[in-house]
A and B are shown apart, each in its own frame.
Chain A
Amino acid sequence: MTTNAKSNILWSRGARQAGLILLVALVPAVLTAWCHPRRPAWSRDQAVVPEVEWEMVQESHSPVLLIDARNGAAYEHDHIPGALWLGARPEDGGMVTVARAWQPGARLVVYCDSLRCDSAQSAARRLRRELGLNDIVVLKGGWSAWIKTHKQGR
């Protein structure tokens, strides 16, 4: 048998086997798409904004812009140092406040009260769409999580 023929048979066998594996993998993939609780959205607008812990925010190599998505009274009472209040200009949902403070390369970190609150998620999604920026994350656990790790000493 010539080397060429041997090579051809090898390739076709490899291709057949690869094809089988590709097909087999399709079955659980389709099931995942149908019923996995953490399946992805099909458009970026609806995709969940990633949630990160405070440690990851601090370790960020890029400058961080903190955004407080709670109500005015909560912000006035106390907030993460340096955080901007999203509600400063209700007419545009905070978009201009954030856009003005943002500098190229900065990462936006949005937080609200706690794990149960989804204002930060919806604000982050809106900012992602309106500002056209992608480096946006939500602080996991929000204000409650931050204050637990920062004010234990007091």
Chain B
Amino acid sequence: MDQNAQTRSLMEMAGRIIIAAVYIYAGVAKALDPAAFADSIDGYRLLPYPVGAALALYLPWLEIAAGLGVLWPRVRLGALSLLFLLCLVFGIAIASAWIRKLNISCGCFGGGDVGVVALRGSLLRSVALTLLAGALLWMEEARCVGKRAATGGTPNGTS
């Protein structure tokens, strides 16, 4: 039993590190060139340009903050929730671009290959990240609930 719990705990930590690293890297790559990111967002043809420009300024920092938040127990629950939502939204956007056969690149890590084939790859990656974020979120929620039961209900985010 102990062995299983330990393995689970290690895998959870690995998962957190992976998703945090991916999002921090993605956020930094996009924060370096917000103009290019605004162009990428515009390529999806889902939002008016000014809205895309505002997102291009904000999203990279949100990704960095949420990525770092995953590594800090006090805000981990909120960070994982945000990352899960971001993954879902990005996945839907990429899927819509793929369906409409838009000749664009994902823009997920700033620049990248253009075209339907590249988008398919990005979509698969996005699905994988969504599943990872969802799993980590579920495990975190379970742990929070478990802790509440153990400590008798005082709000405490430390693990």
Q: Which A residues lie at the B interface, using CB under 8 A?
A: 1, 6, 9-10, 13-22, 24-26, 28-29, 32-33, 36, 38-44, 47-48, 50, 56, 60-62, 105, 107, 134-135
Contact = CB atoms under 8 A, between A and B. Distances in A.
Contacts of B58: 25-26, 29
Nearest to A60: B114
Interface of B: 31-39, 42-43, 49-50, 53, 56-58, 61-62, 64-66, 69, 74-79, 81-82, 103, 114-117, 141, 144-145, 148, 153, 155, 157
B-side interface mostly: helix
A107 B115 CA distance: 12
Contacts of A135: 103
B57 A42 contact: no
Contacts of B69: 17, 21
Dominant SS among interface residues on chain A: helix
B82 A22 contact: yes
A47 B157 CA distance: 44
Given A25-B58, A26-B58, A38-B35, A10 B144 contact: yes
Contacts of A50: 36, 39
Contacts of A18: 78-79, 81-82
A56 B113 CA distance: 9
A38 B32 contact: yes
A14 B141 CA distance: 9
Contacts of A9: 148, 153, 155
B62 A40 contact: no
A141 B77 CA distance: 47
Contact of A32 (B57, B65, B114, B144): B57
A105 to B, nearest CB: 8
B57 A39 contact: yes
Contacts of B66: 21, 25
A139 to B, nearest CB: 15
